[in-house]
Amino acid sequence: MWTYSNPVDVIFGAGEVRKLADLIAGRRFALVTYPEPFFAELGQQLKASAGAPVLTINDVAPNPDYELLREQSARFADEGGEIGVVVALGGGSVIDSAKVFAAANGNFDNVARYLETKTGEEALAFLPIIAVPTTAGTGSEVTCWATVWNEAQGKKYSLAHPRLYPETALVDPELMLKKPTGLTMATGLDALSHSIESIWNVNANPVSARHAVAAAKLIIQALPKVMRDTGNLQLRSDMAEASLCAGLAFSNTKTAIAHNLSYPITLGWGVQHGIACSFTLPTVLRSVIGIGGFREAALQDIFGADLNAGADRLTKFLNDLGVGTRFADHEIPHQYCADIIDEAFAGERGKNFVGTKENFIEAAQQQDVISLSAA
């Protein structure tokens, strides 16, 4: 028995951002975006078609953190009137921030309590959200969770609630044409990780696996090309579609071990999220050879019947993009590796993983990916 569900209306296509005014449909709206001129210009275009937002939050920073979120959330309370819809125009940091604002509706303490104690759900608001992703990576436009960072405490939380699914995901690849190559790569690898992580996952089902296979194949084919041809609309469209499909896959499964390995690496060594959650993928792939069933079939659909050879190709794919697959490549000292691995397997995302810690360590040691003792 399995179930699959995703309630988000998806509109996809070049130039479709012009439909935003129709989707807002006269509601009082808050606009959430970044401070850069490109986004200010998009905000002006939106104002011309949909009227002025009653509130603009345009200082979203990468990796939404407690301190700024608290201050930004308070601006919703200062606004006073009822907000009919929150429009998120940006990547994962913007869409995740919008989810926090939608749940807080002026009072970040309610969100913090829910994150820290898993209580106080009744105090959360759920303002509707329209998500307009400008990166092709997080899939946040079709998930019901937001990553919330607390750098001061060295922690990462997941705000998750079924009422946080955006009402609409408006995906326009034209918005992605000016993404710099570093961001294109990191976000593309984030999407690759979502797709594969949704397969070696206890929550996987045949529908999530199909979305995942479609996403991974498209990314492996399109990402190296778009890195060389960043202004190519067809390739941008492929990456946007792949990221969306990966989102549809992991919206039903959550992520797994590669993501849980990544969080302390991002917090402790500043490794960008998309890189941190993808450099371990070949090792995790080797560790699940033999799991069988539709999961192994899906992995074989992506990587070929011989998954060891597939893991070699995945390593080369990452290396060719400049991403090393050993912990040392990311300057993680060997004495931290054992703790990172132990904690990753013990955590919630680690428990989503269908493989074992023993097999992961064996695969990692065989390939020189980790050294658990000083050389």
- 34 in contact with ligand NAD (CB under 6 A): yes
**Cα gap 122→113, rounded to integer Å:** 11
145: Cα separation from own chain's centroid: 10
242 scored as a contact of ligand NAD (CB under 6 A):
no
Parallel, antiparallel or unpaired: strands 145-150 and 55-57: unpaired
Residue 94 vs 299, nearer CB to ligand NAD: 94
**Contact status, residue 94 vs residue 81, Cβ threshold 8 Å:** no
DSSP output for 249-271: HHTTT---HHHHHHHHHHHHH--
Which is closer to ligand NAD, CB of 93 or CB of 352? 93
State the nearest-atom distance from the C-beta of 29 to ligand NAD, in Å.
Answer: 20
Sign of CA dihedral 369, 337, 333, 189: positive
Contact mark string toward ligand NAD, 332..351, x via CB under 6 A: --------------------
Q: Does 169 bind ligand NAD (CB under 6 A)?
A: no
CA distance 92 to 64: 9
How open is the CA angle 52-167-124, to the nearest 5 degrees? Answer: 85
- Choices 133-141, 286-294, 303-311, 358-366 (CB under 6 A): range interacting with ligand NAD: 133-141
By CB under 6 A, tell whether 226 contacts ligand NAD: no
Closest CA to 338 of 357, 316, 354: 357
Question: Can you tell me the distance from the alpha carbon of 153 to that of 140, in angstroms, rounded to the nearest whole number?
Answer: 24
Build a one-symbol-per-residue string for 49-78: x at contacts with ligand NAD by CB under 6 A, - elsewhere: -------------xx---------------
- Site residues for ligand NAD, 134-153, by CB under 6 A, read 134-135, 137-140, 143, 145-147
- Residue pair 352/201 in contact (Cβ under 8 Å)? The answer is yes
CB nearest ligand NAD: which residue? Answer: 92
* Residues 256-295 close enough to bind ligand NAD by CB under 6 A: 273
Q: Among 88, 176, 196, 244, which residue sits at the site for ligand NAD (rule: CB under 6 A)?
A: 176
Q: What's the closest the beta carbon of residue 305 comes to ligand NAD, in angstroms?
A: 30
Q: Does residue 94 belong to the site contacting ligand NAD (CB under 6 A)?
A: yes
Q: What are phi and psi of 155, to 5 degrees?
A: -125, 160
187 near ligand NAD, rule: CB under 6 A: yes
Residue with token string 């074989």:
300
Q: Where are the beta strands (DSSP E) in 164-254?
A: 168-171
237 touches ligand NAD (CB under 6 A): no
Least separation in angstroms between CB 66 and ligand NAD: 13
DSSP-assigned states of every residue in 280-313: THHHHHHHTTT--HHHHHHHHHHH-S-HHHHHHH
Interaxial angle between packed helices 307-320 and 293-303, expressed in degrees from 0 to 180 and rounded to the nearest 10: 50
Among the listed ranges 113-121, 174-182, 213-221, 337-345, the one in contact with ligand NAD (CB under 6 A) is 174-182
In whole angstroms, the minimum distance from the beta carbon of 152 to ligand NAD comes to 16
DSSP structure class, residue 246: H
**Residue numbers of the site for ligand NAD (CB under 6 A)?**
34, 36, 38, 62-63, 90-94, 96, 134-135, 137-140, 143, 145-147, 175-176, 178-179, 183, 187, 190, 273
